[in-house]
Amino acid sequence: MKAAITATAKYLPPDILSNHDLELMLDTNDEWIRSRTGISERRILKDPEKATSYMCGEVGKQLLAKRGIEASEIELIIVATMTPDMFFPATACFTQSIIGATNAWAFDLNAACSGFLYALNVASSFIETGVHKKVMVIGADKMSSVIDYTDRSTAILFGDGAGGVILEPAKEEGYGILDARLYADGANGKDHLLMTGGGSRNPASHETIDKKMHYIYQDGRQVFKAAVTSMAEVAGEIMSRNNLCAEDIDYLVPHQANQRIINATAERMGLDEKKVVSNVASYGNTTAGTIPICLAELDEAGKLHTGSNLVLVSFGAGYTWGGIYIKWQ
């Protein structure tokens, strides 16, 4: 039996960082940011006491309430993140502790912006093989913790946020996560979007701090080109493998990095604008959070019905990218 999503939830911190706020901090302007990225504002988890696991906990509690199950019923928690609370223990273990899922095993998965799709695919394997019946998958990033707010090329792009789902066996054949194609290309991607400090190659030192190595570095133009090509290709592949034409697709749920990348992907798929989910204007790029936040918003708006066809596509550091086809149950 395929795996189906049985609950969705999201958490966005209340504090807003608008383009106008950024104008006061950086040599940038609202017009440039909106025309080049589509972003107007993003959310920031300001409380220094709160880390990524706080947002995961908020998502996890909502998921349990929405599905109407006890925390003890969750068998596995996967948190996709590139901004864990700390290297170890895993943010998934902090999340387990917050929600009280005492019977779950728990681990983090890092595929940057593709983290949620990678995690969804891993989790669905445990359901399909009958190993588990209830798995929680959360994508969450506190991007403000790794952003240099004096670097206008990255500071304008990212925000904090989390979203997640519960996966269970589909009730009927032909529903749930029906296909997934996931890719990585370290040879061409590893040098264009990365954080060099803090790991085993460059452990934290005065030097790594002085050289700003604990912040994100991105070669925006390179990543942009690769993202446009790869997201369109994988979306096309998902469509042809599953005999889907543009009319068959109810929603494209793309990673929210840049409205221009989203538009290019939708155009290649021949999709009407109404079928393309976008909230990048309000939240910016929340990395592993973008796709589950979009799913939760669709669900909350009552837009997901039995038989709805969803195509999820992502692209991020690594490079990593992928596409998933879901028939909503």
Find the shortest distance in angstroms from Cβ 32 to ligand UT7: 4
Question: Which residue stretch of 28-36, 86-94, 134-142, 163-171 sits at the interface with ligand UT7 (rule: CB under 6 A)?
Answer: 28-36
Touching ligand UT7, residues 216-255 (CB under 6 A): 220-221, 223-224, 227
Q: Closer CB to ligand UT7, residue 133 or residue 260?
A: 260
Residue nearest ligand UT7 (C-beta atom): 220
Distance from C-alpha of 131 to C-alpha of 310, rounded to nearest angstrom: 25
Q: Which residues of 250-270 are buried (b: 16+ CB within 10 A; e: fewer)?
A: bbbbbbbbbbbbbbbbbebbe
Among 1, 16, 18, 28, binds ligand UT7 (CB under 6 A): 28
- Kindly give the pairing relationship between strand 3-11 and strand 160-169: antiparallel
Q: Which is nearer to ligand UT7, 61 or 152 (CB)?
A: 152
Separation of alpha carbons 255 and 277, rounded Å: 9
DSSP code of 216? -
Spatial distance between the Cα atoms of 190 and 202, rounded to a whole number of angstroms: 16
Contact status: 36 vs ligand UT7 (CB under 6 A): yes
Q: Could you tell me the smallest distance in angstroms from the CB atom of residue 220 to ligand UT7?
A: 3
User: In this structure, what token pair is assigned to residue 191?
Assistant: 């040098």
Q: Which of 19, 110, 258, 285 is catalytic?
A: 285
Among 97, 103, 145, 153, binds ligand UT7 (CB under 6 A): 153
Give the C-alpha separation, 142 to 44, whole Å. 8
* Interaction between residue 318 and ligand UT7 (CB under 6 A): no
Q: Kindly give the residue spans of alpha helices, DSSP state H, lying in the chain.
A: 19-25, 30-37, 52-67, 91-99, 115-128, 152-155, 186-189, 206-210, 220-241, 259-269, 280-283, 290-300
Check binding of 156 to ligand UT7 (CB under 6 A): yes
Q: How many residues bind ligand UT7 (CB under 6 A)?
A: 19
**Alpha carbons 51 and 217: distance in angstroms, whole number:** 21
- Give the distance from CA 133 to its chain's centroid: 23
265: helix, strand or coil: helix
Name the residue type at position 283: Y
Q: Which of 295, 233, 218 is nearest to 264 (CA)?
A: 233
Pick the binder of ligand UT7 from 152, 212, 214, 268 (CB under 6 A): 152
* CB atoms inside a 10 Å sphere around CB 239: 21
Told to judge if 285 belongs to the known catalytic residues of this protein, a careful annotator would answer yes
Task: State the minimum distance, in angstroms, from the CB of residue 160 to ligand UT7.
Answer: 14
Piece of the chain touching ligand UT7 by CB under 6 A; list 148-156, 207-215, 240-248, 265-273: 148-156
- Which C-beta is closer to ligand UT7: that of 93 or that of 257? 257
Q: Per CB under 6 A, does 6 bind ligand UT7? A: no
**142 SS3 class:** strand
Q: Verify binding: residue 285, ligand UT7, rule CB under 6 A.
A: yes
Pick the closer one to ligand UT7 by CB: 7 or 147.
Answer: 147
Q: Which of 19, 255, 258, 309 is catalytic?
A: 255
Strands 193-194 and 217-218 turn out to be: antiparallel
Find the catalytic residue in 56, 113, 258, 309. Answer: 113
Residue 322 contacts ligand UT7 per CB under 6 A: no
Position among 6, 8, 19, 37 found at the interface with ligand UT7 (CB under 6 A) = 37
Q: Quick one: which of 45, 51, 104, 113 contacts ligand UT7 (CB under 6 A)?
A: 113
Question: Is 8 a residue that touches ligand UT7 (CB under 6 A)?
Answer: no
Q: Shortest CA distance to 255 belongs to which of 326, 324, 295, 312? A: 312
> What amino acid positions are annotated as catalytic residues?
113, 255, 285
Contact set with ligand UT7 (CB under 6 A): 28, 32, 36-37, 113, 152-153, 156, 220-221, 223-224, 227, 257-258, 261, 285, 315-316
